[in-house]
Structure 1
């Protein structure tokens, strides 16, 4: 049975039983606390929690999923990253009996798989399910297994959960361990978990306690790949029609055949899985990056590219494999065809980038491994792993995989420390309001039945009633001065953070108190919550209140938001239609706009974009707002942002003759209100994604004045016209570099003269001299100059120098050529001495260098180095 037939049978089977088919949601989940969509139930969670109204109480879907936990295992015959999950769901409707009966009927009757091949498992405490399998479905007791693992827990620390019943397929004794007690739960692989029926009947509270849900829900999931493997009678998922065309395309490109070389087979399976994964991730709007889901995509992309190289594919190949994925899956996911250009662009750019750096990275890795193995070490230091990541783009997992192949491990703690040090300046605050949404979903659920009325498009102040007050863990009836709370109003002019626009601030006043609103968020699409601190008096649920938005801040946000629309249109005009929005931030002090483009913008392009935006501002055009049916708006040319959810009726923001977008944010009435638009920065944020940061309004005036002040001040101080400043600064830098070189020469000469006085203390070994000195040197370059000059003066022998440079001890050893022929080795001298200063080092026999942390042990290290050099020369003399 083809996978297309399985899809059709599944949807039709549950449609016949009253289920509404909902399309797969994006791999980018709407829940900000979750990285990627990992199961079909994720889009159902708001329905299960009562936060949103479901389209029906019975639902079914075929959900695209991506899981990262088994990436390192992908390449064997079973592990996957991307997969499709068949699921049926009940939102407070049917429960265990129907879920079990329908699953059994679908497997044994609709698909025709023999009943004696199926082995159900249940949780030991789930007496109902055990009895139902035995007495109603008539599965013999010896084929029903009780497993403690049969419990589906919440995604986070709190949430809905309950026991589950898994249905396992017996692949036959040939796949088993041979033990007579082999059954589901055995790790041998004979019994294949195929369908998981989750009975969500509890809610786990923050304190760990479980409370029964008022309405019990059903969540089931069956991997399409696994059921296809069973029905198509093949040995692994990679031999099903969901994978084999992709795998075969990779094999043909590499000139190899599947099932002829185990090493090649592993790489082919990696490429087949990862090609599917990256195609769908990019299709859903994920771009390669160094954090979050972008990092996952980059890691998978680069792992696929590396396995292509292992097959001998030196040039670009992955975009062509993605075409096979698109052709195979576009009948079910038409967005893949719509996003084909972007998928190609991102993969090709990332592949070219990684191909250029991989060779250098591999060379560095192999040199590092050689160095470690020669010194008997088995762990790649964390800072070296970070260097491979930061300089060569090696994900840590790639370094770890290569290390395993070389019999080494990686100091992950050291890597994490280096990474954290890099992130410290940009790390987001741990206490962000949005981070607590999932843990507090049950608190919000009681308010979600009545949507908050947003009045902020037309007013900045609104009369309202306080519907709810929330602390961190519970609902309140009143809040006192000093308390941090969340306020829920029946209507509000405060804009909740969405679409890149930050939430409003302001205050809420009642007859008994004043609360300062610090942020506004939307935990659900219908609910707006105000994070606030009670500054005076107290607030009570049920009170009438006046909600007042910070008008000046909102005006700045509006200017920046309309400016992003102008910028988006200008980018398309200057760069081309491929420049699509990939993210944005609209704040009161700045705007940030991410867009798809493969290369850095030139100064000419930045000027053209700036000019176009300011031209439209000077025209003082009206910003028109209209509500239209979605299809009509799209037909008229309105831009809909990929990944955003839109209803049947949409809000269209238009700037006549220039821009038209679907947008729910707040905007100026006329473009002239924006004021001066200035770009402050242009940079890369991910492969194929650029970022422009800009300012408008009073902030742009302040920036223009600052730039004028700086240039004017420099002009006066340097006595140079403003327009000649760049050339003059370049000339000054050139003179400064020459002066620095002169200073270094003088420093080296002075230090050499001082050191020369100590040459009389040199140790002589059969005509060779060994000099060991502590000198003053401001830099390593000066230290080497001193060493060169002393080596010339001694004629034959070894010079060893030590110096505290910027507070850290540094060692240098130099040997003359005839001394090297006599057995002297500067690298071994440094390796013997460096541990004393808490460091390491090495180099060639002629010259070597080392460093450490303990400057107090510098003299002791020089003595050890001297003794080692003497020993080397004496050994040769003795021999």
Structure 2
């Protein structure tokens, strides 16, 4: 048996099944597509479920893949054992109604014995207890009968709820007696470590019915899974996934960065090395697939992995904020050949990791300080369980992950009250829900009365005016009524696009439509409050005329078409990771939310504007087509992530530049957008940025407003508009010079008052205590003053406060001789600041804090005296 590298095994598996007529599919993204049952892809067959279910046609009836997977169910064991990991690759071969049991096992035997050259006498198999067919195939292939073990349903029958299911056969490798339990009947199925399962062949041949019975499937399928890392362990003769070639390459780099040796030091070091190594692999692959750190969903999984790895780096003694970003290169070195997207996105991946490391460093410092205080209080009281509300405060107020709280407490022999934590979480959610309740539940009183109506026919893609029949008139809220028609040109708010407004004409009467809402395909046209008082004459069956406000519609369509160009331009400038995270378009402006990890630079904003305007100037035709979803996907149409689409979709294409799924209204040519200008760019959530922009005539209005501001500024500064930058810079420089002069004068004043300040010291327990408030003084000046005093005298503790425009800075300073006696500025300032509604900390010689209540400063100084008195 050859010692094969992990990358070699992957290639051999692919080449073998390609030689057997299999289509070699690329690994799917870790983000499930059109599958809301999964947060992250966790098995080789998960992305292929639509093929097995028959709802999509596979590229071939025979497929082979190597699928990247993430599983975090055992994350607490990662590092503590040598076999647990969050990221792994799953090799598989699949048949969608083509070959079945005999061919699958035959090829499996051929691959492991002829291509991998495994000794036949060390290969075992398990089969379902009633599966004589699989048993006989193994015997026919040459496997000794005593190497075939029959097991029950729990071990060798695959089913999840109702639907396709079937028996399976698992293949094992005998690692030898030294790994065994010594029992004479030791074999696969035993709890010892002698037999390691590495390949499972699932035979989907039945369908489980609601009555619990099983029927035969018309088309039988094969689904196999081989853990690549586990197979590498076998082929390389190692006991741990952390010892196989590619992963050990990463681990060695982590160890070198930490300055420690793996398995030659403390067990805690080994645990932390394994955690960092494993989590590095996960974070690199997740980010490359477009997952960004956040506080929910798969983004939270990523954030947790990065922060867990960062903290274990600190445990190893790595004092570098961006060490994970740097070590990401090692993951890409060993996996970039098989996954070229890692190389393409290398700098982007490192930027995301670096940004999260930086944020976590700040969170950790603050949270650790608070948690250490909690633990000190627990020790003083002899408690082992941290109150749930305190654990929740760490999580909710300070952003400290509950998992980290659990880990740190466990390392110190303590636990959090998780039931109390969950209750605090529930209380907060209930409070939030209560705060959001309004009178909206008063609306839709007549909902049940119209639910029987057919879906409204929407004419608005091509018509702005139409004849229609009234089908229902009801109360929308206390002041307004709504009308339902059999057909309408009015667009209802959806997909980020605002509704149309317009007029309904019924005989001599006219009614203003101010809102349009769609519910289960039925359009509710909301009439304004004044007109709603005069609707007694409107009855079901009446023929009316509907006419939308065409100018408003044109302006909205102009903005909506611009968002399509904007999304593609953002991808061109920032990268393919950019995906829509929300949008809004009305007649005045548009906004577009997208996944991105940092603020756009001025240059990037200009590039996006230039690209959009260039495609406006090209007068690209805008086409809207309805087509089967599979045909749309083949066109490369971009879908909104998480959106559910039917079999027939509407695709909007702007030349060859932008092709998207979209149900909104658009222009027929990009030239009609006129112009495009970004007016703002900012963050709205972790990893989500927002662009606001205007189009057409709104651009002129925006520029006119800017010009008016420039004109006013030039008048105030008494200069011409062209000279404004130069004039502003001169004023700023003058201001800096004045501040410098003031600071120098203040320093001279402080130096001249040192003797007087020392003379004001109070003797407390044999220590000189100086407390003093200063107005219009900064922290640097307080520190300079304390240093000057320590040069003139010893045996002194100082607590100074600077008050500037309501902001309070406190510092505590302790002379060196008192530091050696146990006096600690950090501990003093922490207690003093609490009195004035603040907090802070620092070293023994010097510490700083902020405070909120200047009226409490005298009480804070009294607290300092109290602390010195009991020292």
**Does the alignment reach a TM-score above 0.5?**
yes
Partner of residue 70, structure 2: 66
CA distance in 2, matches of 1:533, 1:248: 65
Structure 1 range deviating more: 63-72 or 190-199: 190-199
Moved more, 77-86 or 821-830: 821-830
Quote how far apart the aligned CAs of 1:344 are.
3.1
Q: Indicate conservation of the 8 Å contact 1:485/1:531, yes or no.
A: no
Distance 1:758 1:510 in 2: 88
1:661 aligns with 2:661: no
Q: CA deviation at 1:381?
A: 8.6
Q: CA deviation at 1:77?
A: 0.9
Q: Contact 1:834 / 1:851 at 8 angstroms: preserved in 2?
A: yes
Matches of 1:505 and 1:47 in 2, distance apart? 41
- Could you say which residue in structure 2 is the equivalent of 1:325? 335
CA contact (8 A) 1:382 1:416 kept: no
Q: Could you say if the C-alpha distance between residues 850 and 233 of structure 1 is closer, same or farther in structure 2, counting changes exceeding 3 Å?
A: closer
Alpha-carbon separation, structure 1, partners of 2:329 and 2:792: 63
**1:29 alignment partner in structure 2:** 32
- 2:227 partner SS: helix
Matches within 5 A, 1:307-386: 316=326, 318-319=328-329, 321-322=331-332, 324-328=334-338, 336-337=339-340, 339=341, 341-350=343-352
Asked if 2 retains the 8 angstrom alpha-carbon contact of 1:676 and 1:700, the reply is yes
Residue of structure 2 in register with 1:677 after alignment:
676
Q: Does 1:144 align with 2:146?
A: no
1:481-530 CA-partner distances (Å, limit 9, x unpaired): 449999999999869967xx65866799999x999876669xxxxxx856
Call closer, same or farther: CA 1:509–1:161 in 2, change over 3 Å: farther
Cα deviation, residue 738, structure 1: 7.3
Q: Does 1:79 align with 2:79?
A: no
- Cα shift at 1:810: 7.3
The answer to whether the Cα contact below 8 Å between 1:515 and 1:532 also exists between their aligned partners in 2 is no
Distance in 2 of aligned mates of 1:219 and 1:487: 49
Contact 1:518 1:531 in 2 (8 A): yes
Paired residue secondary structure (1:663)? strand
Specify whether residues 625 and 771 from structure 1 end up closer, same or farther in structure 2 by C-alpha distance, changes over 3 A only: closer
Return the alpha-carbon distance in structure 1 between the equivalents of residues 233 and 100 of structure 2.
18
SS in 1 for 2:693: strand
SS at match of 1:587: strand
How many Å separate the matches in 2 of 1:820 and 1:649? 73
- Count of matched residue pairs: 768
Contact 1:826 1:844 in 2 (8 A): yes
Q: Does 1:559 align with 2:565?
A: no
Shift of 1:623: 4.3
SS in 2 for 1:710: helix
Cα distance in 2, alignment partners of residues 760 and 47 from structure 1: 84
Alpha-carbon offset, residue 681 of structure 1: 3.5
Q: Is the 8 A contact 1:623 1:653 kept in 2?
A: yes
CA contact (8 A) 2:10 2:228 kept: no
* Aligned alpha-carbon RMSD (Å): 7.8
Structure 1, residues 357-416: CA drift from partner, whole Å, max 9, x if none?
999999999999999999998999989999998xxxx98868987887788989999999
**Contact preservation (8 Å) 2:504, 2:512:** yes
Task: Say if 2:164 and 2:217, in contact at 8 Å, map to a contact too.
Answer: no
Q: 1:409 to 1:622 in 2, by over 3 A?
A: same
The alpha-carbon deviation at position 673 of structure 1 amounts to 1.9
Please list the CA deviations of residues 132-179 of structure 1 after superposition, one character each: whole Å capped at 9, or x if unmatched: 6799999999953779x99957xxxxxx79999887778889466989
Deviates more, 1:66-75 or 1:825-834: 825-834
Q: Distance in 2 between matches of 1:488 and 1:26?
A: 44
Equivalent residue number for residue 865 of structure 2: 866
Alpha-carbon distance in structure 1 between the residues aligned to 2:504 and 2:48: 37
Q: Secondary structure at the match of 1:681?
A: strand
Corresponding residue of 2:141: none
Distance of 1:144 and 1:54 partners within structure 2:
33
DSSP-derived class of the 2:707 partner:
helix
Residue 563 of structure 1 and its aligned partner are, at CA, apart by 3.0
Of the structure 1 ranges 356-365 and 854-863, higher mean CA displacement relative to structure 2 is found in 356-365
Shift of 1:799: 4.4
The answer as to whether partners of 1:264 and 1:311 remain within 8 angstroms in 2 is no
Q: Secondary structure at the match of 1:77?
A: coil
- 1:668 shift after superposition: 2.0
Native 8 Å contact 1:3 1:224 kept in 2: no
1:565-580 → structure 2 map (5 Å cutoff): 566=565
- Distance, in Å, in 2 between the alignment partners of 1:326 and 1:689 is 27
Q: Any idea what the Cα deviations from partners look like across 1:698-733, whole Å, max 9, x if unmatched?
A: 443443343234333444444443344445445555
Q: Which residue of 2 aligns with 1:127?
A: none
Change (3 A) 1:866 1:609: closer
Task: Please say if residues 201 and 216 of structure 1, whose CA atoms lie closer than 8 Å, have aligned partners that are also in contact.
Answer: no
Alignment of 1:407-426 (within 5 A): none
Matching residue of 2:226: 224
Between the aligned partners of 1:374 and 1:293, the Cα distance in structure 2 is 35
Distance 1:255 1:836, change over 3 A: closer
Aligned to 1:707: 706
Note the alpha carbon deviations across 1:551-596, whole angstroms, 9 max, x for none.
65653443234435655777799x69x7786447553231437599
Q: Say if 1:505 and 1:520, in contact at 8 Å, map to a contact too.
A: no
**Cα distance in 2 for residues equivalent to 1:273 and 1:643:** 31
Contact 2:758 2:789 in 1 (8 A): no
Matched, 1:246 2:246: yes
Do the aligned partners of 2:123 and 2:172 also contact (CA within 8 Å) in 1? no
Instruction: State how far apart, in whole Å, the 1-side matches of 2:195 and 2:24 are.
Output: 33
Unaligned runs of 5+ in 2: 2-8, 111-119, 137-145, 441-450
1:382·1:411 contact (CA, 8 Å) conserved in 2? no
Give the Cα–Cα distance (whole angstroms) in 2 for the partners of residues 517 and 200 of structure 1. 49
- Residues 842 and 850 of structure 1 are in contact (CA less than 8 Å); yes or no, is this contact kept in structure 2? yes
Structure 1 residues 624 and 385, CA gap change in structure 2 (3 angstroms): closer
CA shift, 1:225, in A, is: 0.7
Q: Residues 772 and 799 of structure 1 are in contact (CA less than 8 Å); yes or no, is this contact kept in structure 2?
A: yes
CA offsets 1:764-807 (integer angstroms, 9 cap, x no match): 777x654556x575777499489759969996744445799888
